[in-house]
Structure 1
């Protein structure tokens, strides 16, 4: 009775620990098998099954790995019949099946030609490089070559320039520089966009007023004003002048909608960003932050 109560208690303790999902057949099978094996080993430890007999652990493996792999297991030939229940012998058979002998030259080609993809973070890129290097037999040069591939493979030329100018660059230093650069860029985007909605609202409001004025102006023009009325209209509304250099619109004299407004591009006053002459200020600020 006491033994039964103990078993129930253990089941409750490990009730939330599930077997790993079946081996995936999508993508490279060597990587799928390596991931499944790692998850299964974690499961054995977490569920307190690591100390169980090889026969029990083999049964757990076959129960988790899926029907398709059980059919593969049935084709394995063991030196001794009992080896079919030995977890080490069984996993080695699966290892040989999913991981045939590697072509080292080709594996290194994959590593040295890997470039950072669009939208791929620096951290994800390093993870991929580590995974590719695992089949290249680089030995003690692994960390150094991953660092070199990181520098050569990233797409941001500004960050690449900084990495190349860093003395005694290591993989950890390179990853840290890339991470800081990525965080800085995100912060800069938030800073530059912080006041955009308010300025956009002001601009839209001014655009609305100017459009209403221009509509009124067009209606009056089409209605056929003549003589003194037309002359007075043109004088009051600056009808025959060029577009304003501060707002880009035609408006009554001393009624510029840009007056008192701050430019989003250069932070100067009394002109809209569309008419700003300091076109390169924003780009220069960003470059100075990244250097």
Structure 2
């Protein structure tokens, strides 16, 4: 389903298994899609329907197993005090589920194992490290990224200059 020829993002979870990308990244793309479609004018029920449609079959199956009360708990934890609408509740429940399935130890290992690939530019490598560091919840993200850059850059000349 596309509005004015604008396609939604690829389904978050079309088949069983792991999502192709992290929830936060897919949800950011979905929010852009909603903005372009003028979804601020839509009812919360319609935005929720678009969200569920865009999740894909497996994403919808998982959503149907979630307790929407998870969303209310998350809202209370954040201290907003507001009663979330059905769209916000759905997003909060999905975020809680998919963020909880992420293991920070595994993410840290992926970050610390990341080296520059053959043919990968310095800019591409730094961008990849930045994305991985953002998922790791490092306190000193800049220093962690710098240290991993030095350890993983393929050029000995660049490493020596640093």
The 5 A counterparts of 1:56-205 are 56-79=46-69, 86-100=86-100, 102-139=102-139, 141-162=140-161, 164=162
Provide the secondary structure at the position in 2 that maps to 1:133: helix
Q: State the Cα distance separating 1:90 from its structure 2 match.
A: 0.7
Q: State the Cα distance separating 1:44 from its structure 2 match.
A: 1.0
Compared with structure 1, are the counterparts of its residues 34 and 28 closer, same or farther at alpha carbon in structure 2 (3 Å cutoff)? farther
Q: Distance in 1 between matches of 2:45 and 2:106?
A: 38
Provide the secondary structure at the position in 1 that maps to 2:136: coil
* TM-score normalized by the length of structure 1: 0.44
Q: State the Cα distance separating 1:79 from its structure 2 match.
A: 3.4
Larger Rg: 1
Residue of structure 2 in register with 1:225 after alignment:
none
CA contact (8 A) 1:116 1:155 kept: yes
Q: Distance in 2 between matches of 1:32 and 1:105?
A: 16
Q: How many residues align?
A: 147
Higher RCO by CA contacts (8 Å cutoff, separation 6 or greater)? 2
Q: State the Cα distance separating 1:57 from its structure 2 match.
A: 0.7
CA contact (8 A) 2:14 2:59 kept: no
Compared with structure 1, are the counterparts of its residues 132 and 87 closer, same or farther at alpha carbon in structure 2 (3 Å cutoff)? same
Residue of structure 1 in register with 2:12 after alignment:
23
Q: State the Cα distance separating 1:43 from its structure 2 match.
A: 0.6
Compared with structure 1, are the counterparts of its residues 58 and 108 closer, same or farther at alpha carbon in structure 2 (3 Å cutoff)? same
Q: Distance in 2 between matches of 1:136 and 1:16?
A: 36
Q: Which runs of 5+ in 1 are unaligned?
A: 1-13, 165-291
Alignment root-mean-square deviation, CA: 2.8
Deviations along 1:157-205, whole A, 9 cap, x unmatched?
Answer: 112222x2xxxxxxxxxxxxxxxxxxxxxxxxxxxxxxxxxxxxxxxxx
The reply to whether residue 38 of structure 1 matches residue 28 of structure 2 is: yes
Q: Distance in 2 between matches of 1:25 and 1:142?
A: 33
Q: Distance in 1 between matches of 2:49 and 2:85?
A: 8
* TM-score normalized by the length of structure 2: 0.75
Q: Distance in 1 between matches of 2:158 and 2:111?
A: 21
